[in-house]
Structures are given as C-alpha cells and as structure tokens.
Amino acid sequence: MLSRKQLQRYSRQIMLPQIGEAGQEKLGAARVLVIGLGGLGSPAALYLAAAGIGELHLVDGDKVEVSNLQRQVLYKTNHREKDKAQVAAQQLTAANPEIRIYAHCRMADEGWLTELLSQQSFDLVLDCTDNLKIRHSINRACRAQRVPVIMASVRGFSGQLVSFDFRLQSSPCYACLFPPTATQSDLPEVDNCSTVGVIGPALGVMGSTQALEAIKILVGLPVSSLNKLQLFEAGSLEWRALTLSGSSTCPVCG
C-alpha cells in the first residue's frame, strides 16, 4: 500500500488510468539496472528516479569531463574528475530520497554483468552506452539471464531505440539485428560522440523515451519499441519503425 507521502509525490502519475495505485506499486517494487550515465543515461535515470522506481543500480566507469556537460544533464561544472556513477547516485538521491540507489563505478564487462544479473533479480536493464562491444555483452548477458533490455543510441542528429523482452523464449536479440563480427568484438564502437559529434537534445529525447518504455514494461503496458527498431531524426522530427524478426543464424539466440 502506498504511503500518504507517496500518494502526494506521484499523484499526477497515479491519476492516469494506465498507471493508478497498482501501477505505482509495481514501479516501487521494481529493480532496474542502468548501464552508462552519459547523454542517454542522465535523462533516463532522472525520469526513472522521479517516477518512483524502487531500486536503481547505476553503472559507469568514467569520470565527469568538461566536454560531457553539453549533453549529460546530471552533472555540473564542479563535478569534474568525479566518478559519474557516484555523482549520478547523489544527484538522484537528492531528487528522490525515498528510493534506493546504488552506484557501480566500473565498466560493465560481460563476466561482471553476468554475475550481477545471476545473483540479483532485476526486472529490466537499460543500455545507455556508446560502445558496441559492451552493447553485445549486455545483449548476451540479458538474453542468458532472461532480463528485458531497452537499448538506445544517438549519432549526430539520428537516434535509434529497440527493446527485447528476453523473458520470452521466442524473442529476437540485438545480434539478430547487428551481428557481431571479429572486428566489432575486438574494438570499441568507432562512431561515437567523441568522433562524430552529437546534438544534446536528441540524447534527451532518446533517453527520455527509454525511461518511458521502461515504465510501460514495468506496469504491463504495450511497448512500441518491442522487437522494433525505432529511428528518430532530430533534424526533421520524424520517427520511423522497422519490425524485427529473429535470425536462424544468430550466434546468440539462433
């Protein structure tokens, strides 16, 4: 049962028929892992914390740099050289002290991630990284542990979003869409923010959409990005969707 304080804090959300008190209780009981606290993870984590997700785990091994501040809205100038995950946890705790937040100041390598997902029961993972090797590791670990995942990326003015519900045996996976190659497995993603640039508000759109899809998954609403590659063009404000299907030759789920 929700407390009086919770009813007041989440009142505008609870009054929605799609959420209600039952949905808010589901959010309060949820445990979500956010990997990457940069331009995507910042808005995603902010909205999840504000929505009342009961437990957030934040994973990032980087420190705040001046060049981050154009788009990573969790951080301020005085946070330079501090651990992103720790600063993010402090900022989100200040925003909503009623939820539990844990900082993991490290990169999410596959071995560590698989161990974490096998030892703790997570309802959902958000992939907010910009590294292709880590993204494939997240895909494999979430698939193996049957944890749903929401993935997003932005390059320049162009964004991508896709979700997979690995609780379903029939679900396709990220490797069906973008098969890993020997080159990709050995090298970090080449076209990231530091090499091609990115417009900050596009990251805000995609990170916020990740949070929206997360809330919908957790309360049991239809998810528009499930097994669909949603493509966003910030220059024209246009969305396109491509339906995905599993690949029989996929090295992860085929």
Catalytic site positions: 193
CA–CA distances in Å: residue 231 to residues 39, 130, 131, 153: 17, 16, 19, 10
For 178, residues 6+ apart whose C-beta sits below 8 A from its C-beta are none
Q: Report the distance separating Cα 205 and Cα 202, nearest Å.
A: 5
Q: Report the distance separating Cα 181 and Cα 130, nearest Å.
A: 17
Question: Given the structure tokens 């239809």, which residue do they identify?
Answer: 222
Q: Report the distance separating Cα 48 and Cα 150, nearest Å.
A: 13
Query: What Rg, from alpha-carbon coordinates, does the chain have?
Result: 17
